[in-house]
Structure 1
């Protein structure tokens, strides 16, 4: 018997239970199913327009740049314009995300490569699972659709998020994750990204790009397509 099993066996003997009692199992299941909700700040509440406006304010406050486009179909042109205006190469890398794949990349002249990011990539594009209005945070899940390396290796990270996926608070985003992936089935990694990478560990001087992208550009697609 392992030390862990022995400890639990001692507890059960002290309580005079076996651990198999149906009422105790029902009590635990009910607690997990109907756990009381914590206090949620009101500032993130509101309709889609209000949530997007707050998200934009908070994201810009932490040095992210943001533009809004009418729909996903306008994203490639928006990215091409962003890269041209900043004298960046017209070359991007993205995963196999179906939402991004359906966009008209060929019409922009951009060179698009797919797969995990490599050290030489300057610009990567991701599709966010969602966003949190109250903190201006993007939420990205790992997988072939949007490899986690896209979040950390490039100097410039461009993230597309749909307006309908901007939720009020962290509690809501976890509900959305559970609903999308099912009970006990979560992605290996969930990254919360709030602004570009930064650190002030050395001499209390703020440096961008310390542990990841120096620049974070967010494109909010208002329409569903």
Structure 2
């Protein structure tokens, strides 16, 4: 065997050993990720169902959102129509392709014009269906996509978000676990929008202004069902 062959042979054997070590390290990393212990979760949101929903409502109202309850999904359009009248807004809303919203009896909330798809910036009111709610902060979580276009979160003056009481979790960690279970690896939404109250800013002279970067008003409809 020549010196060149001996050197190349040693290099090949060393690279093979390092490859085995790298595979072992990668396996250990994956094991640790899969078995990672849960972080510390505050006890505030760890409540029975009714108390958890009540906490969500209190926290949402604390950040200037208005909240109401309806018994069933079918009752949502009438509740929204009443909100529009109360706020002196036209009887027209924009929704995405969400199946739950599309199946609602909008025709019974007459006269109500329902527009579909992303907002072009000219809509005064939009309706979205929240994926989940976080009780400890009163936050609504919306997944981006055709079902609930992100433009509805930012462009209209009034944003109405519908959430089912069963989808309100105590804390953000529980919501993120729910999202992972729902979509799975490789199918996650491109973005999650976390909404807590209407848009507001106090950047100028520390004076609170609503609607600075999005809706002036947020109304939450909780379906108790």
Give me the TM-score of the superposition, normalised by structure 1. Answer: 0.90
Q: Which whole-Å CA distance do the structure 2 matches of 1:22 and 1:154 have between them? A: 52
Paired residues for 1:1-225 under 5 Å: 17-18=18-19, 21-109=22-110, 110-223=112-225
Q: Which whole-Å CA distance do the structure 1 matches of 2:178 and 2:116 have between them? A: 27
SS at match of 1:60: helix
SS at match of 1:66: strand
Q: Deviations over 1:22-57 (max 9, x none)?
A: 432221111010112111000001122111100000
User: 1:3 maps to which residue?
Assistant: none
SS at match of 1:32: helix
CA RMSD of aligned residues (A): 1.4
Q: Higher Cα Rg: structure 1 or 2? A: 2
Q: Deviations over 1:202-224 (max 9, x none)?
A: 1111100000000000000011x
User: 1:9 maps to which residue?
Assistant: none
Unaligned regions of 5+ residues in structure 2, if any?
1-13
Q: Deviations over 1:100-122 (max 9, x none)?
A: 11110011111101010111100
SS at match of 2:181: helix
Q: Runs ≥4 in structure 1, deviation > 2 angstroms?
A: 16-23
Give me the TM-score of the superposition, normalised by structure 2. Answer: 0.90
Unaligned regions of 5+ residues in structure 1, if any?
1-12
Q: CA, structure 1 residues 34+66, in 2 after alignment: closer, same or farther (shift >3 Å)? A: same
SS at match of 1:63: coil
- Count of aligned pairs: 209
SS at match of 2:60: helix
